[in-house]
Amino acid sequence: MYNVRDDEIPFVEKWGKDHGVEVKYTTTTLNQETVEEAAGFDGISCLQTIPYSKELFDSLNNLGIKYLSLRNVGTDNIDLPAAKSNDVKITNVPAYSPDSIAEFAVMMALYLSRKVGYMRQQLNQNHQYHFSPSFMGRLISEQTVGVIGTGRIGRAAIKLFKGLGANVIAYDKYPQKSTNGQYVYVKSLDEIYAQSDIISIHMPATDDNYHQFNHEVFEQMKDTALLINTARGSIVDTNDLMYALQSGEIAGAGIDTIENESADLQDSRSTKQVTDPDILKFSMMPNVLITPHSAFHTSEAVKNMIDISLGNLKQMVEGQTPEDLVD
């Protein structure tokens, strides 16, 4: 197991003991320099947003490793043709805890809607702590929330936003057959951009939606709108988002994932200071809440990610076909 965080270790050790399987783990990232650590093992469990390259799959093949089990959902960072040509089977964890990510998205929306960042800035920069008329916020129930992607996580977010009284509209290429009256599908993304006070992204990253949120889209959005991204960084053009926030094209953003995330971001033992200029700029803006890809991070999610990932590996090693096999 690569990229194992300290909070995962008790769950890893319990799973190994319960199933009588030897599980070796390391905090390092899986790459060309570290892949040799897996020599002699049957399969690998991994959690990272940096690429799984063709060269890496060539190395796995040379080591006789045919199974890679992700502890996350997304596969956009995997060279799938290279995996197939090297006969490496891949599984993911499609639903480790939709509620964890949905709650985080709603938390970000509440934080931004009530202008908490401006209050914190007043205290941190000016050492003042008092009521200010400029901090007047908006109720979620006063707003229209546009949810893009109505899979497990998107539907969990809709349920929570709806519970707070929001008017919810949604868009998905593959809409659900029933909405249970909780939300209304619109016919185009343009309608989401134009009508929404809050847009919450819950779709996987694909070639088609790379930089889907760019300058042209930010111009279509309300200047009072908030953007929440707990999905994938590549969906939002970072430079265009920065301009949109600074120029007033939109009012605020909740950023849990950003383009080109470093391996240090997912190293629980890293003590390196943040040097990414975009992250540092966003962190100083009162209309932004930026977090280190942590929306998933609850005790329930961590346990499920471990149990499902290692369970998938065990099934593959034993010649079975897991439900979570990635095509």
Phi and psi, residue 105, nearest 5°: -60, -40
Candidate list 232, 297, 318, 323, residue with the active-site label: 232
Q: What's the CA gap between 297 and 97, in Å, rounded?
A: 9
Token couple for 227:
């953007």
Longest dimension (CA), the chain: 65
- Going from the C-alpha of 11 to that of each of 44, 258, 283, 301, the distances in angstroms are 16, 28, 33, 11
∠161-224-173 over CA atoms, to 5°? 55
DSSP characters for 10-61? HHHHHHHHHHT------SS--STTTGGGGTT-SEEEE--SS-B-HHHHHHHH
Phi and psi, residue 32, nearest 5°: -65, -30
Candidate list 219, 261, 269, 323, residue with the active-site label: 261
Q: Is residue 261 annotated as a catalytic residue, yes or no?
A: yes
Candidate list 293, 297, 318, 323, residue with the active-site label: 293
222 contacts 169 by C-beta, under 8 angstroms: no
Q: List, by residue number, the catalytic residues.
A: 232, 261, 293
